[in-house]
Chain A
Amino acid sequence: MALIDTINPLLTTGWAKGDAGWSLKDYEARGGYAQLKRILSSKMSQDDLIAEVKKSVLRGRGGAGFPTGLKWSFMPKAAPEKYVVCNTDEGEPGTFKDRDLLRFDPHSTIEGMIIAGYAVGAKRGYNYIHGEIFEIYQRFEEALDQARAAGYLGNNILGSDFSFDLFAHHGWGAYICGEETGLLESIEGKKGQPRFKPPFPANFGLYGKPTTINNTETFAAIPFILGMGGEAYLNLGKPNNGGTKLFSVSGHVNRPGNYEVPMGTPFAKLLEMAGGMRGGRKLKAVIPGGSSAPVLPADVVMECTMDYDSIAKAGSMLGSGAVIVMDETVCMVKALERLSYFYFEESCGQCTPCREGSGWLYRVVHRIEHGEGRPEDLDLLNRVTDNMMGKTICALADAAAFPVRSFIKHFKSEFEYHIEHKKCLVDPDVQRAGSGFFSASATAGTV
């Protein structure tokens, strides 16, 4: 799915030619690697470089929104061995932007990582790529070969005294490896079980060495930020929410896909860019930041702008920028059941509240959906989430709890109806028609 529409394209400038524009020569033709060259030839100081990134107020695009420049400044200066790691594990349901970034413009991520290496004094980097996207992993390997052959990677890059090499590590199907310390364990050749923090990766990261880890979109933004200046980038968005952001819009819209818009763009505008509601049906709810973010009812989300602060104020999270759009054909109990199954299935199992709690959540939502709910189940669900949130090694337990709490909070009557009437408020035939699967192809056999 190539980019369909954009306001102020930066990250997506290279996507215009689809699969024909990813190569090194295309990237160079659009000004690629110019920032790396400038930094190296002017011998820019690490502090100046980090200061420029701080000015942009670029906030991490992986989910937590932590300021990138600040993160880079945490790296100890003196350590002899450091790493830069890119998180392309992209397993948060609803998110599909990093895949397209590497598919259509892998070199912007590579350049961003090399520049990050320079800024924090690392000589080696890894890009951890989601298991399910093998073709993208292959393309990234090819792009690395191109960069190496052109002297952008390796020893004494472009004749400077800076050396940096970069490799791709391919995942193999574990959502938890998106969590940064689970990811580091995975690169080390172990089960991807998150580590207790602190120490944070900046002090104890890959192989126990100081490590900076950022999301793909974060790294990809770096060359553009340096090209236009931190302040100009910040001003594209709104205060405290710098720049543009990719939003992966999925679900019941006419044109699902990635859209790059300035931070602060109204949700209504994004929905319009995505072609509006499928079949002209009515918007019911939106999960604005990946499946781990609390769901928002239609009237609330229609008042939001797409930036960290506005979405947080509405009671959810911008997260990874995955906008999951649901219309009136959706049964909220069934939707939650699927999400709860996901967290139960993907819990790494090392914390009791998460391992047991995620199982409880799934089983109770499952029984409500299947007409076996009990009147006390909604209280039970909330109690289980109380025992999970903030009580575990990583945030997966919270991610499992947020959907449950927010679905019940905003759509309580649907849950109560299920429990009382042992069936769904939304007619099964209406639900079935919602996906468009059966109407899509009249020529195919019937099921």
Chain B
Amino acid sequence: MNNQYDMLSSESLRRIDREVAKYPADQKQSAVMAALVIAQDEKGWLAKETIAAVASYLGMAPIAAYEVASFYNMYDLNPVGKYKLTVCTNLPCALSGGVHAADYVKQKLGIDFNETTADGKFTLKEGECMGACGDAPVMLVNNKRMCSFMLPEQIDKLLAECK
């Protein structure tokens, strides 16, 4: 089991250490969610080996880390495009165009939810409430950047910006 986590960059491991420090010394596992995010940031998605590397670094069983990775929606257990767009279509957003915004993106990119464009640039996901319904339509770019009031013009601009 030695050094299975070699595959993670030292920068990632440093970032994971900062997360581990937030929790009591005997509760390293608490950092697994953050550590998986950091690993996903580095690798683009979470392969089984990546998850195992995170588990090994935190001293937990690989299956325990895999359970976490598969439970939370924003971990990508399969490769995704360079830009993952997640559009909220839940009811409050739908009332202000959430579903229509998703339809618009589908049409523009020629893909459906859970598909990736042939050039590997875009993956489209359907999202649940992002706690931003007052700004509907809303979408997330690569999990971390929230875009508000995404009407046709704003969507065009965003897609053009994603190089």
Give A residues with C-beta under 8 Å from B. Answer: 1, 90-96, 98-99, 124, 126, 130-135, 167-175, 186-192, 207, 248-252, 256-258, 291, 322, 324-326, 330, 335, 338-339, 342, 345-346, 432, 434-438, 440-441, 443-445, 447
Contacts and interface: CB of A to CB of B under 8 A. Distances in A.
B107 interface: yes
A188 B130 contact: no
Contact of A188 (B27, B67, B92, B95): B27
B12 to A, nearest CB: 16
Nearest to B103: A447
A83 B143 CA distance: 29
Contacts of A432: 100
A346 B128 contact: yes
A435 B134 contact: no
B128 A91 contact: yes
B4 interface: no
Please name the 7 residue pairs, one residue from A and one from B, whose CB atoms are nearest each other, closest first: A444-B152, A437-B97, A173-B73, A189-B29, A173-B74, A437-B100, A132-B130
Interface centre among B96, B98, B107, B144 (most CB of A within 10 A): B96
Contacts of B28: 189
Interface centre among A124, A189, A330 (most CB of B within 10 A): A189
A248 B89 contact: no
Given A131-B74, A188-B30, A339-B91, 15 more contacts: A91-B128, A99-B132, A132-B130, A132-B146, A168-B22, A172-B75, A173-B74, A190-B64, A191-B68, A250-B133, A324-B91, A435-B97, A444-B153, A445-B108, A445-B152
Q: How big is chain B's contact interface, by range?
A: 35 or more
Given A93-B133, A169-B33, A252 B95 contact: yes
A326 B95 contact: yes
B135 interface: yes
Contacts of A250: 92-93, 95-96, 133-134, 136
B133 A169 contact: no
Contact of B73 (A172, A326, A434): A172
A440 B155 CA distance: 12
A434 B95 contact: yes
Given A1-B135, A172-B33, A135 B144 contact: yes
Contacts of B34: 169-170
Interface string B23-58: 110011111111011000000000000000000001
A93 B136 contact: no
B51 to A, nearest CB: 13
A191 B92 contact: no
Given A207-B24, A440-B97, A447-B103, A324 B73 contact: no
B77 interface: no
Nearest to B138: A132
Nearest to A134: B144
B53 to A, nearest CB: 16
Contacts of A191: 67-68, 71
A354 to B, nearest CB: 16
Interface in B145-159: 145-146, 148, 151-153, 155-156
B30 A94 contact: no
Interface string B87-117: 0011111111111110110011000000000
Contacts of B130: 130, 132-133
A96 B134 contact: yes
B136 A256 contact: yes
Contacts of A131: 72-74, 143
Contacts of B73: 131, 172-174
Nearest to B148: A1
Contacts of B95: 250-252, 324-326, 330, 434-435
Given A1-B134, A435-B97, A189 B30 contact: yes
A345 B31 contact: no
B90 A342 contact: yes
B36 to A, nearest CB: 8
A93 B68 contact: no
Contacts of B101: 437
A338 B89 contact: yes
19 contacts: A1-B148, A91-B128, A132-B130, A172-B72, A173-B128, A187-B30, A189-B60, A252-B95, A256-B133, A324-B133, A346-B128, A434-B95, A437-B97, A437-B137, A437-B152, A440-B151, A441-B152, A445-B108, A447-B107
A117 B37 CA distance: 29
Nearest to A349: B71
B127 A251 contact: no
A447 B101 CA distance: 10
A334 to B, nearest CB: 9
A412 B93 CA distance: 24
